Amino acid sequence: QKEVEQNSGPLSVPEGAIASLNCTYSDRVSQSFFWYRQYSGKSPELIMSIYSNGDKEDGRFTAQLNKASQYVSLLIRDSQPSDSATYLCAVNTPRAGGTSYGKLTFGQGTILTVHP
């Protein structure tokens, strides 16, 4: 099983619709969860971070975390053509022994296309 898995794409939605991106992770001790957006040929850009169970909203973006199910998702409301990109889920897992820092592992990414 991969450490971080994202729903297979590509995902295509019409402008104005809600895009839903999903991610599961394998290590129960994972503490921090991130969504990055990557435009073609560019480096990833952080768009959301979430650390506690529940929802976190920032503008048109909502991240949802369920640690019991080891599941994190990203909803993009009122999708725009400028949202067309690859979305990467990343998970930070502490090292054994409880130190604060661990590996930051990425999923394979989901390509999102928003068509007018």
Interface residues with other proteins (CB under 8 A) are 6, 31-32, 34, 42-46, 49, 51, 88, 90, 92, 94, 100-101, 103-109
Q: Are 73 and 23 in contact (CB under 8 A)?
A: yes
Smallest gap from Cβ 113 to other proteins, in A, equals 14
Smallest gap from Cβ 100 to other proteins, in A, equals 5
Smallest gap from Cβ 32 to other proteins, in A, equals 5
What would the two tokens of residue 93 be?
A: 């897992």
The DSSP bridge pattern shows strands 61-66 and 85-94 to be unpaired
Q: Is the dihedral of CA 81, 92, 58, 17 positive or negative?
A: positive
Nearest to other proteins of 17, 102 (CB atom): 102
